[in-house]
Structure 1
Amino acid sequence: MFSLCGKLMGHLPVCGWVRAATGVIKRRANAVTKGWDDEITDELLVRMLKETVASVKKNDPATGDWCVQGDELSVWVDASSLAIGVVLEKDGAVVEDACWLRPANDAAHINLAELDVVIKGINLALQWEVKKLRVHTDSLCVHHWVSDTLTSKARARTKAASEMLIRRRLETVKKLVTEYNLSDKLTRVPRRWYEAMKKEAKPLPLCAASVEEDKIRKIHHDSGHPGVQRTYYFVKLARPSIPKSAVRAVVRECQTCQSIDPAPARWRKGQLGVDATWSRLGMDITH
């Protein structure tokens, strides 16, 4: 039984639905037998195996692009109550897939399984030595958790019973992205150098100050126009020497932030020129 399942999917990078099918068959075989060489007489198991072999003969799912080049990959991940699956895609062609059955008595929430498969998908893609990786998931919660963790725009919000398990997995995702970013080492120097330079920092000339303002303005715009505190957090990651007062000045002068959330102002009350309701023309001008 196990030998036949191995022949169907062993050493093949792409097997499609056969992975989950053979996994269920092997799990069923272990459940109805006690020893390795016991004869299997389970009718349901035999029927499942025959149906799998017939389907493979009719439509073999072991396909894919065997000549893969480039440093970009897309990872498609999904989870169900039965299993979790990963598919690696390159230019529209599936280059590798994988499937893991969940424990039969697994009571974990589906979002936790969706987060587990994201980690497995990233690990599988890292073996291809990719530099740019795009992960696709159909779980909105996992999307927000991973995005907030990687961008640091917000703290991952969850009050589930497995909150600590979720945060532990999110830290694993963050470390995977950080540790395997090969170019990251080229943009880092010892932190003690920064501390020493900050002590010797002198007031910036006018031209340098304007350059710093442009840098703050760009970071504020790229991060989605957050408040002073969050903008200052992103600015410190790029330029630790910039003071918070400079960030506050740039945020206060941001025209986009003023148009979205303008400061309260008092306007002189006027008088309508036309009394009839359907004869008026109204206009609202912001700037």
Structure 2
Amino acid sequence: MDEIAAESQRLWGAPNAFVTADDCRRAVRSLAEAKVVCAAMDERLEAWVVKTRVRDADGEMFDGDDLLEYWRRRAKDMCEVFLKTLVNVGGRLESCSTTPKHRDSLLRVVEGYVTGGVQRKLFKVGIHPKFAREDEITAIRLEQLASLPIDALGLEVERYAKVVDDEDIIASLSSLGDLSSPSHMATRLVDVSTRIRQAGGDEDDPMNADDLLLVLLALVARAKPERAYSLVRYVETFHALVSNAHKGEEGFALANFSGAVRYARGDACGAIIEKSSTARLE
């Protein structure tokens, strides 16, 4: 194996090594052959404007869902341009066009680099203002759910009481919105799901999917991640812009988190809360 091939394997041989936006930035900024490309992308990310007044072909203003898709397309376009330009510089990036695992690594790096560069703007200017009311509704519902005994959710107290009060898991969920990119958040959710399954089951009696969702619901209610609805919409929309990360563990963990927040907002949870409140008054 020649020197460049060995270095390429060291750089790109482990796609899961790229978790944070800083991981992704370091990976390509460390390469002399990518210096000019990275500088150009940094300028583009800095100049990127989060447009909130966009009209469709009929002249109607985009609603929140339309804007999410519009922002997603623009971010994906940047990823695709960045990816193509990086591969074309050759050197230690050349193997990313021919070796599947190396390409997977570069796809994750490109996503983290781009989303990490626009995330703060998206939250501040776009997503948080657009979904402020939904975030308020979600926060109220999570507060109500946090006060319920877990058997009201259909969970076995003896089996899951300690799990839903796990301070480390609660802290991990509470700080989810502070993480640097959608992939970073999805990776955190994989870790959370793993710890829940380990604490709530074993090889002889593993947790079923329904219990996993309900335990996660109880934990999210206790964690109260800031702007939980905005967070769900963001990660759902911007995770795996060009990679296939959504097909693996990250996608599964993200779907569970999204499902828990959406279930919290739904009529079924509303009925559980009302029933529990009525029972306490009797």
Q: Which structure carries more helix by proportion?
A: 2
Same fold (TM over 0.5): no
In terms of Rg, which structure is larger? 1
Q: Which structure carries more strand by proportion?
A: 1
Q: Which structure has more RCO (C-alpha within 8 Å, separation ≥ 6)?
A: 2
The bucket for the TM-score relative to the shorter chain is: under 0.3
TM-score, normalising length from structure 2? 0.26
